[in-house]
Structure 1
Amino acid sequence: MTALSLHPTGPPRSAPVRKKKAIRGGDRLSATFMLAGVAIALIWANLPGDTYEHFWEIPLGVSIDQMSWTFTLHALVNEGLMTLFFFLVGLEVKRELTIGQLTDRSRAVVPIAAAVAGLIVPAAIFILFNLSDGDAGAWGVVISTDTAFLLGALALIGPTFSARLRTFLLTLAVVDDIGALLVIGLFYNSGLNLLPFVIAVALMVLTALVRFLPVGRGFAYAVLGAALWGAVFLSGVHPTLAGVAVALLIPVFPPRRSDVERAAQLTQAFRESPSPGYAAAVTRSLRDSISINERIDTGWRPYISYGVLPLFALANAGVPIDGATLRDALMSPVAWGIVAGLVLGKFIGITGATWLVRQTGWGQLAPGLSLHRVAGGAALSGIGFTISLFLVPIAISDPHTQDLARVAVLAASVIAFGFGWAIISIGDRIAPPHPVGFKLARPVDPHRDHIRGPMDAPYEIVEYGDFECPFCSRATGSVDAVRDYFGERVRWVWRHLPLDQPHPHAQEAAQAAEAAGMQGKFFEMAVTLFAHQKKLERDDLFAYAADLGLDTEKFAEDFGSPKVDHHIQDDRLDAEIMDLNTTPTFFLNGRRHIGPYDSASLIRALEAGPAREIHVHKKPDASASGAAEPPVTKKD
């Protein structure tokens, strides 16, 4: 890759800034579109005449031979298009359970407990308000948080260093979605018809087997998904759950090194000899290197966020608001139960469960995430817009009571937003948040760290990785390309972060590299380990030492020595202080890099970032373990 191809005209923006702004911008835009739908619906519903109600009750029909189905435009949105929304929810649930936040049970225990309490407490409060009126069965209206509005509200508030809170709320929202889906399926169905239900189960089995098809998987998922929707509809279960079922049966997996390397090889072949055959092969290889779960989510999410959800808001938020309606709402136990359940129930349940789990020691918040921020997020979780409005006509039969419930949902969402904003703003003034892991915790030490490049280089890359990680830089070549680009102007520093759960051989591979480093061949061993990532058993490691010409007896002694173990553990502790939990993680000029870590992105981020302090060391007379003169610090 040439140098000219790496840089756009003008100074580039760093990857972390771009990514954070893109996330906040997407959240805000989605919330803005939904708010626009709400505003239009309210204005339309309060115009003279009943055009709003008449429009959404327009009948539509489908006929095939002697069979026909009739439904309204409102049903098309709520039972048809909203299936796509629940499909995306299912994809996210599957991804988080398989490769996301919910795979680390120790880190997920707090948001999981908080989400469960955030489901139970609001329902209990609603039931208390409606025990004597016969509407207690509508408790499902208050249990769920609107993820899109929640993240949009957080982006609008814009607190500093909000990434931890956003991750916590996302994890909580996934568990919240699981609970809401179970509630809809178990408590809000019209009775089970056995034959269509059996057909639905058979279709789900066929859907699970689609992953084994050599071609046409996308088409097969679409056809079986449509058939499953019909079977679920006829079985008496709400048909939107068909979207969830299909999503949970679609496989998800992290990118595999072999697939990525295959794509790179085909891309190189296409570059050298452009042809339609190579172009098609490159397209297929790139597609297959990412799971279909993530491809569908990325491709469909904009249409759902900016199309389906605003349309749903337009179709469901329109309620006539006049003096009589407001008076009835103020006197309605259903309305008060909804407001109290969403605003107070979510706040009390989530905040209380978080505090309790921390006090008992069952779980801990992520570093840098304070309880007042969790309380602010809990208050924002009272925005229950989408699922709440979705369940109103299902859980409540009386049309007038439905209108009162919609008014209460809208009021609760506004109150929850203001409540959350106040808690976060006041809390941040009293206890200002500080970034965690933004700066490198321990400066580079030339007498303990493994460094390639001159110590007085103006650019520095510190990489935390493990030798079994398929995407650490020596495997993908990104750092090699950066070093080729900068030459003597960059130094690369390797530090260990063995991820024991996904990479069971990473710890001993790190020990082997350190033991080889005791004989001056750390980087030679590192290259060997990356080249043989599928063969990292202890016998393999000792064979590599022999191939490198090391003293095998000394290697064996150093392999299990306290010095080697302490070096790796020190790197692990540094990573824990900075809350690092993925590999590779890069620090560029002492600041954590967030975003893509391909060579072009690293180069742009290095050149766009602030200058680092340069430590010029006198070269020691003896080995690296000997004494050295104190460093002289200067600004680049």
Structure 2
Amino acid sequence: MAARVVSDGLRPFLATETGSTLVLLAATAAGLVWANSPWGDTYDTFWRTDLSLHLGTHAFALNLRDWVNTGLMAVFFFVIGLEVSREVQFGQLRDRRMIAVPVMAALGGMILPALIYFALNAGGAGAHAWGIPIASDTAFVLGLLAVIGTRCPEPLRAFLLTLSVVDDVGAMLVVAIFYTENLWVPALLVALVFVALIVALRKINIWRAPAYVLLGIGVWAATLKSGVHPTLAGILLGALVLVYAPSGPKLLRAGELVQALSRDPSPELAREATRSVQRTVSVNERLQFRLHPWTSYVIVPIFALANAGVRLDAETLRRAATSPITLGIALGLVAGKFAGVTLGAWIPLRLRWGDLPGDLVWGQILGGAAVAGIGFTVSLFIADLAFADDAALQSQAKIGILVGSSLAAGLGWLVFRLAWDRGAVCAPPAPSGPPDERDVEPEPLPPVTGGDHVLGPADAPVTLVEYGDFECPYCGKAEKTLARLRERYGDKLRFVFRHFPLREIHPRAVPAALISEAAGDHGLFWEMHGKLFDNQLALTDADLTRYADELGFDPWTDIDRHRARVNADLESGERSGVMGTPSFFINGEMYEGDHDLNSFVTAIDAALKSSGTKDFQPGL
């Protein structure tokens, strides 16, 4: 069976990132409103308020904004480090062919924006700030996809998430190497000693949360004292947290203890059972579960509130409009990211270094490349470092970030509107292995029989066969086009629907297919077919039962027979070369064109012409 498009570990990550976007937008708007209100002077005054922590004669004295940018954001990058570690060992980053394209796309999306910025600022006061437009904002990018993307965005989200992780790691390396001033080596050596102790504890398989927390705080504090930005410590500490797959012995032991507890409850047994159940899931994943909502809903919005507030008066905007810093950042985020990510994805695909998840099409890749230019969080972060001592230049940089990110979002929306699903299908990743093992010559399409679901006369000169999935959004969108084709061609077109449920990415596809077959027993297949496509977001068992009640039949009879019928369609499609949905065949030949009306009309007209249909008129 093919691998899942998105690993189970990524699903809560994606859900949290997209769900927190509105909170992040609200915090950004609040920062802008505050800074431009009649009480705008209090914005900087508040965030520059000193907050000190004293331990004996030692003290950390930072203002509130610095605590947010160096302390809270270290937790944010700690979570990024956790995700990197998990994905390297068990997720997308483990498969070299699956990571080659997003990694190269990320590198292209970092290099080209930096070059564009530097070309406009070489020799100027802002030349050193070339790192500002290099990173993408994961939360904004994934949140925007939830708003303007398709209902089947997992492959693109997985691609962009991998790209963003590489982006974040690259950005932190840039911060450490190019934005570190006054390096104090003794403190850096202390930080390395603490890291070595953590590694040693992990090597001897000792994990104690209090010890790790104390050592982690030590790494952070020593890194801060060294002059290296402590957020780098956050991502390193996250990568060091233990991660492992659930093991049979751990699961078995946990089950035994839970059963023993149910027979003879005691405080000691309850404690041991609780610990045993916890150990079935790695510390890495437990920490992600606990911390990720905090970073997405609290820490990143607080960061936006503390850093997005920039004065937008006439004089500031006038200077920004002619500032090479503002223009360099905006162009880097919009043009640089778009071209860099696109070129970076094209090169490894052209050279066959890697594959894309889920049979993505170029309309989706281009849209993803456009929204990758939303460089909000990390861009603001680097702008604060690059122009720490120049408020005017920092203001111009922030305006460039806001303008560039907004334009990138608009460009992404436009690309998605024009080209999102041209020829797109829902599909699991291609199976791994050498090409000669994966490429099998397809068999001829099975002929239409009395057992097929058919609309149109048997003697129609053109037969259009669809292999579809009731949960696939592209199939749902194609329904309107197919209805117009049947209306346009009438008796000259016979339409056949066959099942191809994608279990790996559409968990409700098989039950929906079974219900449609149950409806077919009562001569109601096409009525149920229409209901299912009209309600693709409501396909739970309760929903399916309600649809059956509305049509007046018992949906859950002869399930084994219906499952055999669905599997037969699925197997026939696989033998004929179907890899995703919707897939179409016109008179037995696989249709490779786009799924819009004009493309179908062109192909069907060609089939009518070649069939020698009398009174044929193009586009009838």
TM bracket (short chain): 0.5 to 0.7
| 1:211/1:217 contact within 8 Å kept | no
**3-state secondary structure, aligned to 1:614:** helix
1:158/1:194 CA distance change after superposition, 3 Å: same
**Structure 2 match to 1:420:** 412
Provide the C-alpha distance between the structure 1 equivalents of 2:47 and 2:204, rounded to a whole number of angstroms.
41
| 1:192/1:237 contact within 8 Å kept | yes
Shift of 1:414: 1.1
**Structure 2 match to 1:63:** 54
User: What residue identity is the alignment partner of 2:57?
Assistant: Q
Are residue 356 (structure 1) and residue 347 (structure 2) matched? yes
| 1:161/1:434 contact within 8 Å kept | no
**Structure 2 match to 1:157:** 148
Deviation string 1:293-314 (CA, Å, 9 cap, x unpaired) is 1110111111111111110000
**3-state secondary structure, aligned to 2:130:** helix
Provide the C-alpha distance between the structure 2 equivalents of 1:305 and 1:274, rounded to a whole number of angstroms.
39
Shift of 1:188: 1.0
Provide the C-alpha distance between the structure 2 equivalents of 1:154 and 1:383, rounded to a whole number of angstroms.
12
| 1:588/1:606 contact within 8 Å kept | no
1:316/1:133 CA distance change after superposition, 3 Å: same
Shift of 1:271: 1.9
**Which shifted more, 166-175 or 269-278?**
269-278
Which of the residues 29, 32, 37 maps onto 2:22?
32
Are residue 106 (structure 1) and residue 119 (structure 2) matched? no
| 1:437/1:579 contact within 8 Å kept | no
| 1:392/1:406 contact within 8 Å kept | yes
**Structure 1 match to 2:244:** 253
The sequence identity of aligned pairs, in percent, is 39
Provide the C-alpha distance between the structure 1 equivalents of 2:22 and 2:229, rounded to a whole number of angstroms.
29
**Structure 1 match to 2:133:** 142
Deviation string 1:16-50 (CA, Å, 9 cap, x unpaired) is 9x999977763343111111111111111012241
Provide the C-alpha distance between the structure 2 equivalents of 1:587 and 1:161, rounded to a whole number of angstroms.
13
1:613/1:289 CA distance change after superposition, 3 Å: closer
**Structure 1 match to 2:530:** none
Provide the C-alpha distance between the structure 1 equivalents of 2:105 and 2:563, rounded to a whole number of angstroms.
50
**3-state secondary structure, aligned to 1:191:** coil
User: What residue identity is the alignment partner of 1:203?
Assistant: F
Shift of 1:363: 2.2
Are residue 346 (structure 1) and residue 293 (structure 2) matched? no
Which of the residues 109, 112, 116 maps onto 1:118?
109
Shift of 1:367: 3.6
Shift of 1:362: 2.1
User: What residue identity is the alignment partner of 2:110?
Assistant: L
1:244/1:607 CA distance change after superposition, 3 Å: same
**Structure 2 match to 1:405:** 397
| 2:16/2:296 contact within 8 Å kept | no
| 2:361/2:423 contact within 8 Å kept | no
| 2:156/2:357 contact within 8 Å kept | no
Shift of 1:135: 1.6
Provide the C-alpha distance between the structure 2 equivalents of 1:89 and 1:437, rounded to a whole number of angstroms.
26
Provide the C-alpha distance between the structure 2 equivalents of 1:163 and 1:248, rounded to a whole number of angstroms.
24
1:197/1:25 CA distance change after superposition, 3 Å: closer
Mark the runs of 5 or more structure 2 residues left unpaired by the alignment. Answer: 1-5, 430-500, 515-538, 545-554, 565-620
**Structure 1 match to 2:289:** 298
Q: How many residues align?
A: 450
Provide the C-alpha distance between the structure 1 equivalents of 2:196 and 2:241, rounded to a whole number of angstroms.
12
**Structure 2 match to 1:192:** 183
Are residue 382 (structure 1) and residue 373 (structure 2) matched? yes
Deviation string 1:169-213 (CA, Å, 9 cap, x unpaired) is 111111111211111111111132121111111110101123367
Shift of 1:350: 0.7
User: What residue identity is the alignment partner of 2:183?
Assistant: L
Deviation string 1:52-106 (CA, Å, 9 cap, x unpaired) is 0100011122233333332111111111111100111111111111111010001
Provide the C-alpha distance between the structure 1 equivalents of 2:255 and 2:135, rounded to a whole number of angstroms.
44
Provide the C-alpha distance between the structure 2 equivalents of 1:282 and 1:357, rounded to a whole number of angstroms.
49
Shift of 1:359: 2.0
| 2:98/2:357 contact within 8 Å kept | yes
1:292-331 equivalences under 5 Å are: 292-331=283-322
Which of the residues 602, 614, 631 maps onto 2:561?
614
| 2:383/2:394 contact within 8 Å kept | yes
Shift of 1:364: 2.6
**Structure 2 match to 1:43:** 33
**Structure 1 match to 2:272:** 281
1:415/1:615 CA distance change after superposition, 3 Å: closer
| 1:355/1:371 contact within 8 Å kept | no
Deviation string 1:581-628 (CA, Å, 9 cap, x unpaired) is 9xxx99855879xxxxxxxxxxx97787686683699xxxxxxxxxxx
Are residue 370 (structure 1) and residue 325 (structure 2) matched? no
Shift of 1:341: 0.5
1:510-549 equivalences under 5 Å are: none
Which of the residues 212, 228, 233 maps onto 2:224?
233
| 2:53/2:59 contact within 8 Å kept | yes
User: What residue identity is the alignment partner of 1:205?
Assistant: A
Provide the C-alpha distance between the structure 2 equivalents of 1:301 and 1:424, rounded to a whole number of angstroms.
29
| 2:359/2:428 contact within 8 Å kept | no
Deviation string 1:551-609 (CA, Å, 9 cap, x unpaired) is xxxxxxxxxxxxxxxxxxxxxxxxxx97969xxx99855879xxxxxxxxxxx977876
| 2:132/2:380 contact within 8 Å kept | yes
Shift of 1:384: 0.6
1:199-214 equivalences under 5 Å are: 199-211=190-202
| 1:197/1:235 contact within 8 Å kept | yes
| 2:374/2:404 contact within 8 Å kept | yes
Provide the C-alpha distance between the structure 2 equivalents of 1:236 and 1:34, rounded to a whole number of angstroms.
29
1:23/1:227 CA distance change after superposition, 3 Å: closer
TM-score (norm 2): 0.68
1:69/1:168 CA distance change after superposition, 3 Å: closer
1:25/1:194 CA distance change after superposition, 3 Å: closer
| 2:254/2:276 contact within 8 Å kept | yes
| 1:376/1:424 contact within 8 Å kept | yes
| 2:367/2:412 contact within 8 Å kept | yes
**Structure 2 match to 1:130:** 121
Provide the C-alpha distance between the structure 2 equivalents of 1:28 and 1:615, rounded to a whole number of angstroms.
37
Provide the C-alpha distance between the structure 2 equivalents of 1:21 and 1:101, rounded to a whole number of angstroms.
13
1:414/1:434 CA distance change after superposition, 3 Å: same
**Structure 2 match to 1:180:** 171
| 1:385/1:409 contact within 8 Å kept | yes
Provide the C-alpha distance between the structure 1 equivalents of 2:563 and 2:202, rounded to a whole number of angstroms.
56
Deviation string 1:426-455 (CA, Å, 9 cap, x unpaired) is 1136x15322259xxxxxxxxxxxxxxxxx
User: What residue identity is the alignment partner of 1:42?
Assistant: L
User: What residue identity is the alignment partner of 2:295?
Assistant: I
**3-state secondary structure, aligned to 2:360:** coil
1:239/1:428 CA distance change after superposition, 3 Å: closer
Provide the C-alpha distance between the structure 2 equivalents of 1:133 and 1:250, rounded to a whole number of angstroms.
43
